Amino acid sequence: MTTTIAELQQLIAASVKNYREGSIVKGHILEKRPKEFLIDIGYKSEGVVSASEFDNPEEINVGDEVEVLLERLENDQGMVVLSKQKASQRQNWSKIVKLFEAEGIIKGRVKSVVKGGLIVNVGVEAFLPASQVDINPPKDLTQFVGNTYDFKIVKINEDRKNVVLSRRELIEAERSERRQQFLGTMSAGDKVEGTVKNITDFGAFLDLDGIDGLLHITDMSWARLSHPSEAVKPGDRLTVVVLEINKDKERISLGLKQLQSNPWDRLEERFPIGQKIKGKVTNLMPYGAFVQIEEGIEGLIHVSELSWTKRITRPSDVLTLGQDIEAVVLGVNKEDQKISLGVRQLEPNPWDEIEQRYVIGKQVRGQVRNMTAYGAFVELEEGIDGMVHVSDLSWTKKINHPSEILKKGDEIDAVVIDIDKANQRISLGVKQIETDPWKEIEGKFKVGDVVKGTVSKIANFGAFIELPGDIDGLVHISQISEDRVEKVKDVLKPGQEVEARVIKIDKTERRLGLSIKATGYSEEALRKESEALESVKSGEDMVSFGAALTAAEEEYRPGQGTK
């Protein structure tokens, strides 16, 4: 049957009448170009649609049927204006509205990155804010372009046909479900796998597929760690053991070292006391040095165990990090996981034979290293000190402080008078080098002798006179002059040379009484004066040197003279 021209024109006219702008029509791909497709909708002219309007443009082939929106029947170039995207939006909008009302989930493909987020094709173009992409907003959004995900519709505007999505809400809901499942099924002792999310100074947080767990630094390794980064790093996939679960607070404590054998087991057998070991210095503290004996096992050398004799203030003065050293096991505490080590025990203790090297009564020589109110410390050899008590500095003088006759750095001779081996102390005496002058006092002085000396100290009750032989005598205030003396310092001055008469000698109490006014007395007058002096209470004249010097301190200081 032959179709006439008139009939064809009628068919075309009928066909044209069926095409209305704003309607959705079907067409076929006539030509596939690099960035666009030529589509035939059966109209007198074809239309061009951008390849970007298709979800998967690379999968479109010539001849494929597509539905498009007829925007205009003819543009300035006489071509039909079509839109694949707008057709899809119109077709999918009612579906999206229903999903939104039902709080359903929609699948979409990330199309591009825009300011503040991503454009997602869910049948219509929707906006995914950057804050809703993941639980932690990613820095690089381009990694999501081209990928397909599930989304929740959180907001729509029917007038503007705007859709806002969230992927984060779905992830959080999924994680919450997994958390509850995990908390309901897991218990302490179970092994789980997790990925290291982030590291802090005290440990690492692991993502256990929906719930976070804390791997504390002390549970990472049996060895001591300075920082968690020494054992793990972000992204590591680890098998760990659940140590504790707090379901109320959703907190999980994890352990890594618990999956390894404890090196502290049978430690006392492997490292008995007295055994020599080799190790490496791993840390230096003011109080000691940590030494790694083997993987996971460290011992502490206290600063006091570094040397028998050297005065070591800090371990860093003699040790360095990474140094290989030898030490001796001093003690093992398995419960507290502590090993005490010593270095000085590798050598003989010089104090073990101290009595043979420093015999009591032996004269020694040393340097004054330090002084305190009660004595002076004298270095006899490196690390070996002796102490001279102030009472052992002079037979005749009351020494209040060793600095009165010694200074730091002085080389002095002394005698060993005692050894305390247990407490590592040697007692020295300086006065013991010479004979006690009071043992021979009768051979030097007799009552009635006229002597010459120098005023050494002034007290309110009298004056001390230094005599030959390093002997001090006391002139009571009543024995200075025939005239009444109100204050001793008004008549006598330190350093003044005087002549006096011995009127009393008490060897037992180590006292020597002098009188200046009796210098010219006859023997009879001297006898009477001595008898009168005997009647005076001891606390007023012949006081002990200790009490007299204590009182004298109120008016006299060495090197300052009288007040």
The pLDDT of 395-421, averaged and rounded, is: 87
Q: How far apart are CA 104 and CA 369, in angstroms?
A: 88
CB 89 within 8 A of CB 108: no
Domain limits for position 306: 272-345
pLDDT band at 350 (very low <50, low <70, confident <90, very high): confident
pLDDT at 553: 42
- The residue behind tokens 């229903």 is 98
Boundary (domain end) residue, out of 433, 463, 491: 433
pLDDT tens digit string along 456-515? 888 888 999 888 877 888 999 888 888 888 888 888 999 899 999 888 888 777 788 898
* 492 and 408 assigned to the same domain: no
* 362 and 252 assigned to the same domain: no
* 67 and 91 assigned to the same domain: yes
pLDDT band at 546 (very low <50, low <70, confident <90, very high): very low
pLDDT band at 532 (very low <50, low <70, confident <90, very high): low
With 70 as the cut, is the pLDDT of residue 14 above it?
A: no
Boundary (domain end) residue, out of 102, 120, 153: 102
| Exposure b/e, 141-158, CB count within 10 A at least 16 = b | beebeeeebebbbbebee
Boundary (domain end) residue, out of 433, 450, 472: 433
Q: How far apart are CA 429 and CA 415, in angstroms?
A: 5
Q: Residue 313, Cβ neighbours under 10 Å: how many? A: 8
pLDDT tens digit string along 314-345? 999 889 999 999 999 998 887 777 889 998 88
* 484 and 552 assigned to the same domain: yes
pLDDT at 341: 93
Largest CA distance in the chain: 186
**Residue 208 within a domain:** yes
The pLDDT of 153-170, averaged and rounded, is: 85
**Residue 282 within a domain:** yes
Task: Specify burial of residue 198 (Cβ count, 10 A radius: 0-12, 13-18, 19+).
Answer: exposed
Q: What is the CATH number of the domain that holds 60?
A: 2.40.50.140
CA distances in angstroms from 528 to 269, 505, 518, 521, 525, listed in the order given: 88, 16, 11, 10, 5
CA distances in angstroms from 542 to 56, 196, 506, 534, 547, listed in the order given: 122, 88, 9, 9, 10
**Residue 108 within a domain:** no
CA distances in angstroms from 81 to 48, 75, 428, listed in the order given: 7, 7, 116
The pLDDT of 180-195, averaged and rounded, is: 82
* 428 and 415 assigned to the same domain: yes
* 320 and 371 assigned to the same domain: no
Question: How many independent structural domains does the chain possess?
Answer: 5
* 254 and 358 assigned to the same domain: no
* 278 and 368 assigned to the same domain: no
pLDDT at 544: 45
With 70 as the cut, is the pLDDT of residue 4 above it?
A: no
Radius of gyration of the chain (CA): 53
**Residue 224 within a domain:** yes
* 546 and 500 assigned to the same domain: yes
CB 368 within 8 A of CB 407: yes
In this predicted structure, which of 254-258, 401-405, 524-528 has the lowest mean pLDDT? Answer: 524-528
**Residue 156 within a domain:** no
* 466 and 549 assigned to the same domain: yes
* 333 and 379 assigned to the same domain: no
pLDDT tens digit string along 80-114? 888 887 777 777 787 888 888 888 888 889 999 99
With 90 as the cut, is the pLDDT of residue 302 above it?
A: yes
Q: How far apart are CA 341 and CA 302, in angstroms?
A: 7
